[in-house]
Amino acid sequence: MEKIATVGLDIAKSVFQVNGVDAAGEVLVRKRLSRARVIPFFAKLPRCLVGIEACSTSHHWARELIALEHDVRLMPAQYVKPYVKRGKNDAADAEAICEAVMRPTMRFVTVKTPEQQSVMMLHRVRLMLNRQRTQLSNATRAHMSEFGIVAPVGRIGLERLLAIVADKDDERIPPDARLCLETLGAQLAIVKEQILENDRRIRASARDTEVGRRLMEIPGIGPLLASAFVASVADPRLFKTGRDLAAWIGLVPRQNSSGGKERLGGISRAGNQYLRQMLVVGSMAVIRHAERHGTKRPWLIELMKRRAKKVAAVALANKTARMVWALMTSGEHYREPQVAHA
């Protein structure tokens, strides 16, 4: 049998599909593997190019195959989909992956280290805990309003409600309802403590890296966003320009151009929603500071005069993303813009 040059690997929880071809594109192996047989199978193969869709567990399997000295490439699933000919099954997916990984214009995802995935897990758990805190707070307010007990919006209002729950002498709340509300309050206290510990670890992760410390010098980027950038963008040189990074985050206009006529709409909202959301929030903080204390960015002042505040925030987020790419690739520190004198 001729040497296998490229392998398309369709991964799952228990069943894996392999499609291997030689240098000429002839199919040499089309095989279904159990989870326990994946590593022994690739251990027997000579070094080859292995394509995998960037999905759940893909980074783990990429690291395992790289340890066996294979050249592993991860690809976004939406870029592999056009190569599926007809039907949907594991064999067709593996064949499409094998075809897509050989395309010269294909875009790949950098394999993340366990440390980078751990930091991203901190951010995902933080989002989940914040949703749970909001859910518990809203449930407490809604249940107590059924007994005519309401409080102002915000943390102080919620604390007033919890104080009423803790007051055993308050007869407005029946015993069974008080028991349920005490349970919600206890869960809320636990979630708040976990959020504080999670935020402490995220801030520590941002300060532990030299890149994270440099990114925090940019206005609008704090420890949370710096840590997310370091963990999400494993290799900034994978993006040719800062605009490519902004496009990956989803901060560039959506195009619907044809016949030489350019039609640009709102931002595409493709890519990393978490980074995009935090960049816009950080940009809003910079704009509020500029309104109160002024700024050395004349273009931002002019933009705020012509456009709505949130539109200006998106434009500033785009520029911030480009600065992040420049700092990550060049190794330089942030320099405040100099105001030109007449």
* Chain segment 186-245, per-residue pLDDT in tens: 999 999 999 999 999 999 999 999 999 999 999 999 999 999 999 999 889 989 999 999
Residue with tokens 């520190």: 333
Q: What are phi and psi of 73, to 5 degrees?
A: -125, 125
Closest residue by Cα to residue 68 from 40, 92, 94, 95: 40
Per-residue model confidence (pLDDT) at position 177 = 94
Amino acid identity, position 138: N
pLDDT of 341 strictly over 60: no
Q: What is the 3-state secondary structure (H, E, C) of 72-94?
A: EEEECHHHHHHHCCCCCCHHHHH
pLDDT of 1 strictly over 80: no
pLDDT of 137 strictly over 80: yes
Report the b/e string of 45-61 with b at 16+ CB within 10 A.
beebbbbbbbeeebbeb
Task: Give the pLDDT confidence of 81-107 residue by residue, as tens digits.
Answer: 999 988 889 999 999 999 999 999 999
Q: CB–CB of 288/267 below 8 Å? A: no
Instruction: Locate the domains of the chain by residue range.
Output: 6-101, 115-208, 219-330
pLDDT of 339 strictly over 80: no
Task: Give the pLDDT confidence of 112-132 residue by residue, as tens digits.
Answer: 999 999 999 999 999 999 999
Task: Give the pLDDT confidence of 273-314 residue by residue, as tens digits.
Answer: 999 999 999 999 999 988 888 877 888 888 888 889 999 999
Query: Sign of torsion, CA 287 312 120 206?
Result: negative
Percent of the residues in the chain that have a pLDDT greater than 90, as a whole number: 80
pLDDT of 266 strictly over 60: yes
Mean pLDDT to the nearest integer, 314-327: 95
Mean pLDDT to the nearest integer, 75-80: 93
Per-residue model confidence (pLDDT) at position 298 = 80
Least confident window among 8-12, 180-184, 263-267, 328-332: 263-267
Tell me whether strands 71-75 and 253-255 are parallel, antiparallel or unpaired: unpaired
- What CA–CA distance (Å, rounded) separates 40 from 147? 64
- What CA–CA distance (Å, rounded) separates 252 from 46? 42
The per-residue DSSP string of 34-63 comes to EGGGHHHHHHHSPS-EEEEESSTTHHHHHH
Confidence of residue 342 (pLDDT cuts 50, 70, 90): very low
Q: Which residue has the higher pLDDT, 262 or 310?
A: 310
Confidence of residue 2 (pLDDT cuts 50, 70, 90): low
Per-residue model confidence (pLDDT) at position 196 = 96
Mean pLDDT to the nearest integer, 308-333: 93
pLDDT of 151 strictly over 70: yes
- What CA–CA distance (Å, rounded) separates 113 from 231? 9
Confidence of residue 340 (pLDDT cuts 50, 70, 90): low
pLDDT of 264 strictly over 50: yes
DSSP, collapsed to helix, strand or coil, labels residue 254 as strand
Q: CB–CB of 20/70 below 8 Å? A: no
Residue with tokens 């102080």: 156
Q: CB–CB of 191/132 below 8 Å? A: yes
Structure-block tokens of residue 319: 């520029």
- What CA–CA distance (Å, rounded) separates 48 from 200? 43
Q: CB–CB of 224/308 below 8 Å? A: no
Q: Which residue has the higher pLDDT, 338 or 35?
A: 35
Q: CB–CB of 60/91 below 8 Å? A: no
Closest residue by Cα to residue 252 from 314, 173, 299: 314
Overall fold of domain 6-101: Nucleotidyltransferase; domain 5 (3.30.420)
- Predicted TM-score (pTM) of this structure: 0.85
Task: Give the pLDDT confidence of 13-51 residue by residue, as tens digits.
Answer: 999 999 999 999 899 999 999 999 999 999 999 999 999
